[in-house]
Each structure stands twice: as structure tokens, then as C-alpha cells.
Chains A and B, each alone.
Chain A
Amino acid sequence: MKEFAFLKMLDRFRKVFESFGCDYPVMRKIIQVKLTMDGRRVPTIMNRARARKQSDSSDSNAFLRSLWTYLIMGLILVPIVLINQNAMFSMSIATGILMFLVMTSMISDFSAVLLDIRDRFIIVTKPIDKRTINFARTLHIIYYLMLLTGALAGPSLIAALYAHGLLFFLVYVLEVVLLDLLILVITALLYLLILRFFDGERLKDVINYFQIILSFAVVIGYQLVGRSFSLINMHIEFHEASWQWFVPPFWFGAAFQWLESGKATAQTMGMALVALVIPLGLFFLYIRLMPSFEKQLQKLSAESSRTTSKRYGWMTLLMKLFTSRNQERHFFKFAFLMMARERDFKLKVYPSLGFSAIIPFIVILSPVWSQGIQVLSHGKWYLWIYMSGLVIPTVILMLRNSTQYGGSWVYLATPIKEYSAIYKGTIKAALMRLYLPVFLLQSIVFFILFGWQIIPDLIVVFLSMWLYAVITFRISRKALPFSEPYNLTQQADRWTILPLLFLILVFALVHFLFTFIPYGVDVYALVLLGVNWLVWKYSFRMNANSFRFNQ
């Protein structure tokens, strides 16, 4: 097993740990094993395909290799720290963003560390006292928290040192440490709270949502890094208000306000003090609560007997509306439930889905920003709704994958005659479950912005997307739904997606041209309806040789 620099650093403090009654060699061994295992795990922020390829050959920590991603994310803080106007404002925002990023990364990637139930069977059954185990676990988390915040806060720390001087820098460092403590405790308390009232499965769902939020934030964050630099010369007025007491980032901002202006109001001083007292206080509480946390963790290993007989009323409704044959309905339901339940699938698809939901708004926002809302009344701005279709190829290609891909033997072991029903049902389910909500949301907003006359256009868009989905399916390599592991063939898929992205522009262009003909849009809608009917009827016909099984 590898020697880690972190362990060598700990060796220097051996006496300190031992004075707390901790069995140092054993603690060291536990941390060493944990770090080795982490080296073989892949963090959310990184593309898993790439990470897997690398980590098979080497043992180096994928998390460490992903640190540069956090560094880039950290750049977003640089201009904010550089805002000259108001330290309270800028540093509150900076710490707020930092808190958000650290917290989401912490929950996405280190939950496995906090919640490893194997520890109970492997380590707790051995002659090691609780204190040593708790020390090992806490140090393990602190190690990552240090690296993570180091990378995220690093660029802005340097900027602060350069622009505001040493004292400001030191206060910033202190604040970051306090922030880490706060996050560590909040995360643990969050888990404790969830486990107190729900079971382990629900906790895994919550972690999954945080992973999705983080992935989404990374996508959006990249868009904002460049634009945030225009903030430097912004002029801001900041007014004190008592609600600020309840927003932690303001506590951290207050210390800088105090430092910058030299004098401070009672509220500023109070909040700066709170930033010091609360994290430290909570941390000591956390150490006291560790045993109770352990007790709640028992729930994770206990089989939950909670039965979910959740009825998907609207699923049945959609199914009856859009599918006809029995077999097709059958696979519609199956795919619908798989997409709803499989966490890895959600993690891969939801961030792109969220992005596709907002991208048309981002596009029309900049002309509105510069020329006012009346700019929308002329021009065909609503056609940007086609941008949201970009998610359809991603979704359809992803339908082949599943964590439990081995389960696909059921397709082979059962006498399925119509393979077309499998694909029709699955693709319809994907359109209904994933694309339809996005489309409806955008339609409502566009309806408000552009008025009732765009309704035929929206119908055309919706019909185009159905056609687009079929074309995507025809072009892409065919495999049974949920039958392959993730990242089996991502390289090849990239070349499939590229022409499809151009195709969406073609759809938008054709639509654009029809808008110049009187009643053109209505006619086009009827044409699309007919084409869809033909395509959905005939283009799924295939025999067992049309695709290959990956078993």
C-alpha cells in the first residue's frame, strides 16, 4: 500500500493524538486503507469515463486529479473578491458561493466516506476503541475538506492577498477554516436528521439530488466564470437588515466589513463574532454527538421494510394517451419506473435536462437585457425553444445504460416477439417523463411572454421533437434499453450526437421559413403529424439481427 504525504504530516502530531487516548498506529492504518480505496473511486465532478480509464492503470486518487476542476470553479470567486466597493457585499457573496460548492461536493462525494456501513462489520468488530475509529473518520474527512476548499478558495485567496493585503488574507484563511467546520457539522446534522425520520434509501435519494445539483451547478458555473469579471466595477449599496442574522454568509462577510472600514456597527460586530462562535460551538457539539450518529447509522444496514405502493396516476394517463399496443404499454411502464428509480441514470441525465430547460431563456435574456422587453414583440425569438431539444439525443443514448445492466437477460429469456414494442415504449416513456416537463415549463413561460398566437408554433415544436427522437434512434447504434454499463462506448456516441445537434437547427430553420407563409405553421403542423404517424408505425420494424446484445 502507498505511503501518503498526509500520513507523514500526521506522524508529526503523533504525540498529540496519543495524548487524546487514540491508538495512533491503528488510526494511521485505517486512514491509509481509506485513502487507498478513495484512489479507486471516482468523484461526481469528473467525467467518469475518463476517470475510469485512468484509474485502471494507476492508483492515484481520481479526486486529486479532479482538483483542477475545482480550481477553475474557484476562479469565479476572484472578481467577486476584487470588487472594491463594499467588503460586506462581496465577501458575503464569495463565502456564500464557497459554502454552496463545498457543501454540495462534500455531500456528493464524501457521503460514501461518512456513511460506509462496511465499517461497522469490518472495523467495529475488531479490538479498537471508539475514540480511535472516530478520530480516523474525522481526520479522513478533514483531509478532503482541506484539499477541496484549498482548491476552491485558492485563486481568490491569492487575489485577496494581492489586492487587499496580508491582514485581509489571514482573515480570509481563518474564515475558510471556520466555514469548513460549519459545513462538516451541518452535513452530519443533515444526515442525522434524515436518518432520524427516514431510512437509508431516502438518504441515498437525498445524496443523489445533491449530486445532481452539483453537476448542474458546475455546468452553469462554467458559463458564469467569464461573465463574472464584469462585476468588478459594479457599484453596490449595502443596507443592514435584521434578516441577515439568519444567513450564514453574512456572518463571514461582516468580519471583512469591520476590517475594511475600521469601524463597525453593532450588527456587523455581532455577526463577525457569530461567525467565530457558532462554527466552533457546533464542532464541539458534533464531537459529542458522534456516538449518536453511529447509532443512527445502524439504520443504514438494517433492511428497510418500507413498501412503496406509489401509484403513478399521471404515468397511466400519459401511457393511455400516447401508446396503443399492450406490449408497448408494458415497456413504457417499465422504462418509466426505471428512469424514476435508478440514481445513476438521474445523475447522468438530470443536469443536462436542467440545462436544456434554462438555455432558451439564457439566450433571449441578453437582448432583453440590453434593449428592453419590447424587443421580443418583433422577431421570432420563441424559436429558441428548439434549443431544449438538445437533451433528446443525450437521453436516448443514455437509455441503453443501467447500473444493473446484467438484469437485461430477461429480454433474452422471455419470448418477446415484437422488439419494436420495446423501443417504442421506452422512447415514448423517455419523452414523456423527461422531455415533456421541460417543454411544458418553457411553453408556459413563452405563452406568457409571446401570447396565444404562438400556440400553433408550440405544437409544431412538440411534433418535431417526436420526429427528432425517432431520427436519433435510427442513427444511433441500437442496443436494448438498460442493457449496457455506463460509459461503454462514449467516444463513438460523441460522433453520433454531433450531426444530431445540427439537425435541431435544421428543424428550427424549416419552422422559421414556414412562419412567412400564411397558415404555413398550421399546415406544417399537419404535415408533421402525418410524418410522425408513418414514422412511428414503420421505422421501428426490426428483427433480432438489427442490434447486438451485450451480455
Chain B
Amino acid sequence: MRPEDVAISMRSLKMLYGSKLVLKGIDLEVYRSQIIGYIGPNGAGKSTTIKAILGLITGYIGEIRVFGRNIADGDVGYKRQIGYVPETAEIYDALTPREYLTFVAGLYGISEGQADRKAKALMDLFDLRDAYHARISSFSKGMRQKVMLISSLLHNPDILILDEPLSGLDANSVMVVKDILSELVAQGKTIFYSSHIMEVVEKISNRIVLLRDGQIVADGSMEDLKGQSNESSLEAIFNDITGFHEHKGIAEQFVSIIQEV
């Protein structure tokens, strides 16, 4: 790999919340045209990593570089190359998609006219033509998610950071979004995909990074991971590597408590 192909690099990234070390030294290089499936149990440090890359938290130890530039150098321009869909679909829902999308595009420096044209066309493709001028507050979860996805892509970013991007979407929309992601990767984009839905991660990622207790415990393609563990599905590998074997026992106990009545 040439150095200019490194989209994101993290070197011994540590983060301290109060007295708790939530990231215990992450070393990771993400290359162009990769879809990284970034997985791990709740509290493993996935969101913290993502927030650090986006500059939402400061005070981490270590170094993060985006296309070779240290993001702590005081220039926020690197964010122009990133598109982001947060897990909790945070959105100004008093606005209409038109207003919201042209606003966000404006923050990336795109002119209103161009943003409007693009946003409208993309909304059309997502079957939301009629909703373009309605308040987002009246939208269903899936419709909001589509607006979020469009807002993360309007400025044609080189890196996409997605946190549960498919939540609330119906099966047909999921197909469309998956294909969009593959197409983007084929164009040389990088996707950082964080999710709890293992089937999806397994299918779309060409590299999987598993995080546990603030550390990377597995990193490689699906084939590599299968080699590391005796399991065949990502879900089983996940359970295996995170050392979680009690699911059967817990389930049995759970059901027996229900039956107590």
C-alpha cells in the first residue's frame, strides 16, 4: 500500500473518561476502497473511536491522521472529506428536508442551488419526492434515516462513517443502500461501518475489526477471522472472540423465570 492510500490511521489511541480507560491503545490503518466492519459489544469503545475521528471529543492520547494529516493540528478542513451518520438519528426535525439538506451542504461549502438540485434528485430516488417540503418531525424512522444518509453524502466525501445506517429502513431500501455502498467503494471511497447486525457486516465488509474493552482483538477479512476461530458465521465468531459462551444458559434461565408465574 502506498502512503497516500491510507485514509485513516490511528496510532496508540487512548481515551480516558474520568478514571476509566475506554480506549486502551488502538492501532489501525484504514485504506482506500475498504469497507471496514467496526464491531464490538456495547461499551467496547466503538462510538468513542468514531467521535474522536470526527473531532467530537478532544483530550485523547495518541494520534489520528486523516489522509496523512494530523486532525489535532487545528485545521478542521479534514472534515470536508468525511460524511457521517450518527447512531442516534440526530437531526433538526423542525426543518424540512430541503432546508436541512441545503443547510448541511452549506456547512460543507456547497452552494444552495447545487445542494438543492442534488438533494431533490436523491430524495426522488429514495421515493421521498412528496416529503421534500414536509417537516422532518412528521417522518417515520426510515424516512429520517434516508434524509440522514443523503445529508452525509451530498458533499461527495472520500470517507463515510456510518453508525447503524440501516436502522428503520425497509428491506427494499436496505438493498438499495447496500448497493450504493458497494458502488461507492468501487469508486475508491472508504467506509467505516459500525453495527450490531452481524449478518450485514459479514456480507458487506471486506475487512472486519473487532473491538473489546477498548482494544482491537481481531482484524482481518472474513476468511482470516474464520481461520482464527472454529466458527463459520460472524455472529458465532463474535461470540467466540468476545468470550461469550453463556448465551444458551442465560436463555434457558430467562425462559424458566418467565414460566414461574
With A37-B94, A117-B90 as given contacts, are A126 and B107 in contact (CB-CB < 8 Å)?
Answer: yes
A125 to B162, CA, bound (A): 13
Is residue A196 within 8 Å, beta carbon to beta carbon, of the partner chain? no
B94, A127: Cβ atoms under 8 Å? Answer: no
Residues of A within 8 A of B204 (CB): none
Q: How many A residues have CB within 8 A of the partner chain? A: 24
Pick from A26, A36, A41, A127: contact of B79, CB below 8 A. A127
* A36 contacts across to B, CB distance below 8 A: 94-95, 99
Report the Cα distance A126→B108, complex, angstroms: 6
Query: A29, A41, A130: which contacts B94 (Cβ < 8 A)?
Result: A41
- B56 near A127 with CB under 8 A, answer no
A40 sits at the interface (CB 8 A): yes
When the two chains form their complex, are residues B99 and A125 in contact, meaning their CB atoms are under 8 A apart? no
B137 to chain A, nearest CB (A): 9
Question: Bound complex: CA of A41 vs CA of B92, how far in Å?
Answer: 12
Task: Decide yes or no: A124 and B56 within 8 Å by CB, A29-B103, A117-B90 being known contacts.
Answer: yes
B106 and A125: CB pair below 8 A?
A: no
Is the C-beta of A122 less than 8 angstroms from some C-beta in chain B? yes
Residues on B with C-beta less than 8 A from A121 are 56, 84, 86, 88, 90
What is the distance, in angstroms, from A6's C-beta to the closest C-beta of chain B?
A: 17
Chain B residues closer than 8 Å to A33, beta-carbon distance: 92, 95, 99, 103
Q: Is the CB of A125 within 8 A of B54?
A: yes
Cβ contact within 8 Å between B56 and A118:
no
| Cα A36 to Cα B98 with chains together (Å) | 13
User: How far apart are the CA atoms of A123 and B86 in the complex, in Å?
Assistant: 12
A-chain residues with CB within 8 Å of residue B56 when the two chains form the complex:
120-121, 124-125
Quick check: A127 and B80 within 8 Å, CB to CB? yes
Could you tell me which residues of chain B, from 70 to 128, have a CB within 8 Å of some CB in chain A? 76-80, 82, 84, 86, 88, 90-92, 94-95, 99, 102-104, 106-109
Residues facing A in B135-172 (CB within 8 A) are 135
Greatest chain B CB density within 10 A among A121, A130, A298 is at: A121
Q: Are B77 and A127 in contact (CB under 8 A)?
A: yes
Complex-state Cα separation, A387 to B104, whole angstroms:
54
The smallest C-beta distance from B114 to any residue of chain A, in angstroms, reads: 14
Q: How far is the CB of B132 from chain A (nearest CB, A)?
A: 14
A to B contact number (C-beta, < 8 Å): 66
| Centre residue among A26, A124, A125 by max chain B CB count within 10 A | A125
Residues 33-72 of chain B, each 1 if its beta carbon lies under 8 Å from chain A, else 0 = 0000000000000000000001111100000000000000
Most chain A beta-carbon contacts within 10 A, residue among B80, B82, B92: B92
| Contact of A413 with B by CB under 8 A | no
Q: Is B57 a contact of A298 with CB atoms below 8 Å?
A: yes
Residues of B within 8 A of A40 (CB): 94, 135
Q: Are A122 and B91 in contact (CB under 8 A)?
A: yes
Chain B nearest CB, measured from A295 CB (Å) = 8
A29 CA / B108 CA spacing, docked (Å) = 11
Determine the distance from Cα of A36 to Cα of B92 in the docked complex, in whole angstroms. Answer: 11
Q: Tell me whether A129 and B94 are in contact (CB under 8 A).
A: no
Contact B90 A118, beta carbon cutoff 8 Å: yes
Q: How far is the CA of A127 from the CA of B55 in the complex (A)?
A: 10
Give every chain B residue within 8 A of A117 (Cβ-Cβ).
Answer: 90
List chain A residues, Cβ under 8 A from B82.
125
Query: B55, A123: Cβ atoms under 8 Å?
Result: no
- Bound CA span A222–B52, Å: 51
Q: Is the CB of A126 within 8 A of B90?
A: no
Say whether A1 faces chain B, with CB atoms less than 8 Å apart.
Answer: yes
CA distance A36 to B91 in the complex (A): 14
Q: Which residues of A contact B106 (CB under 8 A)?
A: 26, 29
A128 part of interface (Cβ distance < 8 Å): yes
A122 to B99, CA, bound (A): 14
Closest residue on chain A to residue B53 by CB atoms: A125
Separation of A29 and B77 alpha carbons in the complex (Å): 18
Chain A residues 125-161 with CB under 8 Å of chain B are 125-130
Contact call A127/B91, Cβ cutoff below 8 A: no
Residues on the B chain within 8 Å of A37, using CB:
92, 94-95
Q: Which residue of A lies closest to B106 (CB)?
A: A29
Mark interface residues in A108-123 (1 if CB within 8 Å of B CB, else 0): 0000000001101111
Shortest beta-carbon distance from A478 to chain B in Å: 29
What residue in chain A is nearest B98 (Cβ atoms)?
Answer: A1
For A1, give the chain B residue with the smallest CB separation: B99
A58-91 toward B: CB 8 Å interface, digit per residue (1/0)? 0000000000000000000000000000000000
Whether A127 touches B108, Cβ cut-off 8 Å, given contacts A1-B99, A298-B57, is yes
The answer to whether A126 touches B99, judged by C-beta atoms less than 8 angstroms apart, is: no
Give B102's nearest chain A residue, CB to CB: A1
Q: How far is the CA of A33 from the CA of B95 in the complex (A)?
A: 8
- Which residues on the B side are within 8 Å of A30 (C-beta)? 107
Given that A26-B106, A29-B103, A33-B99 are known contacts, is A125 also in contact with B94, CB under 8 Å in the complex? no
Besides A33-B92, A33-B95, 10 more A-B contacts (Cβ < 8 Å) are A26-B106, A33-B99, A121-B56, A124-B55, A124-B56, A125-B79, A126-B79, A126-B104, A127-B78, A127-B80
Residues of B within 8 A of A (CB): 54-58, 76-80, 82, 84, 86, 88, 90-92, 94-95, 99, 102-104, 106-109, 135
Instruction: List 3 tightest A-B contacts by C-beta distance, closest first.
Output: A127-B79, A126-B107, A121-B90
18 A/B residue pairs, CB under 8 Å, sorted by A: A1-B103, A26-B106, A29-B107, A30-B107, A33-B103, A36-B94, A117-B90, A118-B90, A118-B91, A121-B56, A121-B86, A124-B55, A125-B56, A125-B82, A127-B78, A127-B107, A128-B76, A128-B107
